[in-house]
Amino acid sequence: MEYIKDFAWTPGITVADFVQKLGVVGFQSIELKRASELIVKMKKNNARTFLTFTSNMVTSGLRGFFAQTIKEGLADVIVTTAGGIEEDIMKAKGENFLIGRFETDDIELHEKGLNRVGNLFIKNESYMNFEDLIRPLLDVLYAKQKRWAVSELLREIGLTLQDEHSILYQAAKHKVPIFCPAITDGALGFHLYLFQQTHPDFIVDVVKDFGNILFATSHDEKKAVISLGGSISKHHAILATLLNGGAEFALYMTTAQKTSGSMSGATTNEAKSWGKVKDDSDVCTVIGDVTIMFPLAMIGAMEVLASEGLLGRSQKNTPQERLQDKENPKS
């Protein structure tokens, strides 16, 4: 049995050591340490890792860190919302979001053409620039083919961005599929609708993409979920793991409470009742702000993995490719 220890700062402390020290402080600090260790286990067990997040996290500066997480091989499947897609594109094209305050005059912001996300502001102008960008891009995609699964559409867009800090770009570069089941729930969906009015044979196929996320993993491989926040992003990933036998590893980070009965507040233990997470799985739920908790847990894991030479992405990123390697280890 471990005992609580007083925390003390030491010069030159690494993030990994900091997280370890927090692990004997108490309360959510203990869960944060468990979360970091769980990420290491996911990587060492070659688990197919689903990373899910909502658009507000892409509004924040976590956007570039998500892209780095993909690049370093710590996320194999991405699930997010429409706002996360469009804001990644906006930032890749040079749009900058402003730091504001939670306590502000929202009527005044509206008059100034500023949209508030917590204590972050997005200019109306950024959405206007997005509109100018997306229409000619849809023309190019339409010329290539008329019917797209969402993940295939997003991969094509990602290949055009050429921004190392872009989630879509890194995902496309490393063959990491991005799923967005609620693609119409935002500015991007509105422009897809407008485009379809003049191109009625242009189809974005959400149902086909449900099949794609199911085949993004398999019953035979180990599966892991890192779910940041909740909503449809979280559920879409754990539903895919349910239909493939359940996840062996699951890490949830949220500010929502389990007493709400919501998807955002649902814990990893609750997921076991559905079979989304296996009965004997290694799980952790951290209650706290993702903009603080996730970088600490992930960087702590990255430092451990880097010290053991385990940080980096395998060139094999489809279930078929990995299964072929397993059956033919010398190939």
In this predicted model, what pLDDT tens digit does every residue of 252-269 receive, in sequence order? Answer: 999 988 877 877 788 787
How are strands ordered across the β-sheet holding 48-52?
Answer: 178-179, 77-79, 48-52, 223-228, 247-254, 277-287
Cα–Cα distance, 52 to 72 (Å, whole number): 16
Q: How do residues 310-326 score in pLDDT, each as one tens digit?
A: 999 875 566 556 545 54
Q: Which of 221, 203, 64, 191 is nearest to 128 (CA)?
A: 191
One-letter identity of residue 279 = D
Tell me the C-alpha distance between 249 and 37, whole Å.
Answer: 11
The reported pLDDT for the residue numbered 59 is: 98
Domains annotated on the chain, with CATH: 15-327 (3.40.910.10)
Lowest pLDDT segment from 45-54, 141-150, 231-240, 270-279? 270-279
Positions annotated as catalytic residues are 276
Tens of pLDDT, residue by residue over 194-246, are 999 999 999 999 999 999 999 999 999 999 999 999 889 999 999 999 999 99
- E-assigned strand segments in the chain: 48-52, 77-79, 98-99, 114-117, 120-123, 147-149, 178-179, 203-205, 223-228, 247-254, 277-287
The proportion of the chain whose per-residue pLDDT surpasses 70, expressed as a percent, equals 95
> pLDDT by residue (tens digit) across 281-313?
999 999 999 999 999 999 999 999 999 999 998
